[in-house]
């Protein structure tokens, strides 16, 4: 997977590149709109990460020029938080939109989702059963078991657990968890998420020998079987 990052803040661009390389992407960088547009037109990228405010050509202008000949998926980054800007960005051909400052994990998740979407209709069969180590989740029957013991989960807890299991080994930020499980799209009350995870742990991890839900300080939560 080859990505292009067009971002004029050198430090931020470098972080994004390193992060994406760690995720296994090949990443090219451009620090201004003119170079960015040139690169985007010359070679075929699977996805472009585009800053909305650029020297040379601004993000929307670049997008308009690119869209005349290419359908490369674009994630816009912007410091603007106005809804109108967001709508304008999406109208002028951006496929997704992220407001600065953002958590890197969120950018990675959006990129992944966008690549999945654009890689055509090869959607995998809906999973019926999720399994991590000795924890099993039956999505159809809405049953959770660990070591063969049935776990008593509320609707919220079931939703949270299935999200963590779907993204096994992937750190999920609190913001992301709030959006995915409860459809709450604002950053606040992170302690609410902490309380929810704490309660889930008391049912999923505490009765058992090996914890599966881990806190990654400053980032969020991850569900994986770690070696003790």
Partner 1 sequence: MNSRVPKTLGSRLSLWLALQSFFGLLAVCIAIYAATFYAFRSHQLEELAHKKGLLEHFASEALSTGDEKMLGHKLRDFKVGHSEFGLRVLRAEGTVFFEDVVPSATSQRRLIEFELASPVAGHRPFQVTLSQDIRKDQSLLERIAAALVFAALGGTLLVSCGGYLLVWLGLRPLRELSTQVQGLAADSLHRRLDGSNQPGELAPLVAQFNDLLARLDASYEHLEGFNADVAHELMTPLATLTSGAELALSSAKSVEELRDTLGSSLEDLQRITGIVQDMLFLSQADRGAVARRVHTPSLAAVVKQVADYHEAALEDAGLSLVVVGDAVGEFDVSLLQRALSNLIGNASRYASSGSEVRVLINSSSPNEVSIQVENRGSTIEPAALPRLFDRFFRADMARSNANRNHGLGLAIVAAIARMHGGRPIASSSEGVTKVGLVLGSSKTSES
Cα 22 from chain centroid?
15
Q: 19: helix, coil or strand?
A: helix
Convert residues 165-194 into a mask of x (bound to partner 1 by CB under 8 A) and - (unbound).
-------------x---xxxxxxxxxxx--
C-beta closer to partner 1: residue 115 or 192: 192
Q: Which residue has the tokens 């809804």?
A: 83
Q: Does 195 bind partner 1 (CB under 8 A)?
A: yes
Stretch that binds partner 1, among 48-56, 124-132, 152-160, 164-172 (CB under 8 A): 152-160
Burial of 80: CB neighbours in 10 Å, binned 0-12, 13-18, 19+: middle
C-beta closer to partner 1: residue 118 or 189: 189
Cα-Cα end-to-end distance for the chain: 34
Among 124, 218, 227, 228, interactor with partner 1 by CB under 8 A: 218
Among 199, 203, 210, 214, interactor with partner 1 by CB under 8 A: 199
Q: Does 216 bind partner 1 (CB under 8 A)?
A: yes
SS3 string of 88-121? HHHHCCCCEEEECCCCHHHHHHHHHHHHHHHCCC
- Find the shortest distance in angstroms from Cβ 166 to partner 1: 20
Question: Sheet holding 143-146: strands in order across?
Answer: 129-132, 135-138, 143-146, 149-151
Q: Does 204 bind partner 1 (CB under 8 A)?
A: no
123 and 137 in contact (C-beta within 8 Å)? no
C-alpha dist (Å) from residue 151 to 24, 159, 216: 36, 14, 25
C-beta closer to partner 1: residue 149 or 188: 188
C-beta closer to partner 1: residue 67 or 88: 88
Q: Does 22 bind partner 1 (CB under 8 A)?
A: no
Count other C-beta atoms under 10 Å from residue 209's C-beta. 8
Count other C-beta atoms under 10 Å from residue 153's C-beta. 20
Convert residues 71-110 into a mask of x (bound to partner 1 by CB under 8 A) and - (unbound).
----------xxx-----------------x---------
Q: Does 154 bind partner 1 (CB under 8 A)?
A: yes
Token pair of 112, please?
A: 């992944």
Binding-site ranges for partner 1 (CB under 8 A) = 81-83, 101, 154-156, 178, 182-192, 195-196, 198-199, 216-219
């Amino acid at each position: 997977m080859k990505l292009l990052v067009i971002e004029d803040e050198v430090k931020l661009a470098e972080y994004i590149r390193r992060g994406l390389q760690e995720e296994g992407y090949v990443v090219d960088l451009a620090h201004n709109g003119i170079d960015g547009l040139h690169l985007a037109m010359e070679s075929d990228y699977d996805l472009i990460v585009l800053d909305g405010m650029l020297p040379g050509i601004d993000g929307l202008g670049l997008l308009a020029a690119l869209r005349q000949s290419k359908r490369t998926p674009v994630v816009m980054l912007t410091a603007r938080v106005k809804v109108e800007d967001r709508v304008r960005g999406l109208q002028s051909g951006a496929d997704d939109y992220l407001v600065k400052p953002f958590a890197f994990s969120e950018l990675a998740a959006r990129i992944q989702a966008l690549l999945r979407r654009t890689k055509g209709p090869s959607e995998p069969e809906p999973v019926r059963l999720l399994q991590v180590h000795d924890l099993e989740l039956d999505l159809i029957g809405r049953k959770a078991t660990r070591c063969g013991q049935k776990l008593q989960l509320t609707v919220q807890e079931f939703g949270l657990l299935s999200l963590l299991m779907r993204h096994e080994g992937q750190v999920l930020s609190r913001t992301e968890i709030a959006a995915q499980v409860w459809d709450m799209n604002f950053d606040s009350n992170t302690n609410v998420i902490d309380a929810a995870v704490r309660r889930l742990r008391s049912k999923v991890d505490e009765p058992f020998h090996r914890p599966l839900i881990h806190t990654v300080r400053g980032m969020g939560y991850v569900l994986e079987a770690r070696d003790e």
